[in-house]
């Protein structure tokens, strides 16, 4: 089944998610309740799943040295701060 999933985020989070391998991040922002969240497009909920790792960093804070490349996924303004979401991209 094709669907959209949402995951609530917290500032300074390190998040491990088990997601279908075909899931793609398409938006990072505030939901209707003002909660920082990330939305995924999932074209096939029955696809095999893999673990994916995301990190939330505030502007001006150090970004950890990951053993994997990181990819920017989006930013959220929660006054007075701006938070930035990155995903570890592991070679396959």
Give tens-digit pLDDT for 34-55.
999 999 999 999 999 999 999 9
CA quadruple 52, 13, 24, 30: dihedral, nearest 10: 160
DSSP state of 66: -
Q: What does the DSSP assignment read for 1-64?
A: --EEEEEE--TT-EEEEEEETT-EEEEEEE-TTS-EEEEEEES-TTS-EEEEEEEEEETTSPPP
pLDDT higher at 35 or 90: 35
**What is the pTM assigned to this prediction?**
0.89
Average pLDDT, the chain: 92
pLDDT for residue 66 is more than 80: no
Half-sphere exposure of 39 (CA within 13 A, CB side): 12
Per the structure, the count of domains in the chain is 1
Q: What is the pLDDT of residues 13-23, one digit of tens each?
A: 789 999 999 99
**Please, are residues 17 and 50 in contact by the beta-carbon 8 Å criterion?**
no
83 CB-near residues (< 8 Å, 6+ apart): 9, 11, 36, 56, 57, 58, 59, 75, 76
pLDDT for residue 92 is more than 70: no
pLDDT of the residue at 21:
94
pLDDT for residue 29 is more than 70: yes
The domain of 61 spans 3-89
């Amino acid at each position: 089944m094709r669907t959209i999933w949402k995951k609530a985020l917290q500032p300074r989070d390190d998040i491990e998610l088990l997601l279908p391998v075909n899931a793609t991040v398409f938006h990072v922002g505030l939901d209707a309740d003002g909660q920082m969240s990330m939305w995924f497009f999932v074209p096939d909920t029955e696809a095999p799943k893999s673990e994916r790792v995301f990190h939330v960093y505030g502007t001006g804070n150090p970004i950890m040295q990951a053993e994997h490349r990181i990819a920017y996924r989006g930013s959220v303004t929660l006054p007075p701060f701006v938070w930035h979401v990155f995903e570890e991209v592991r070679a396959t």
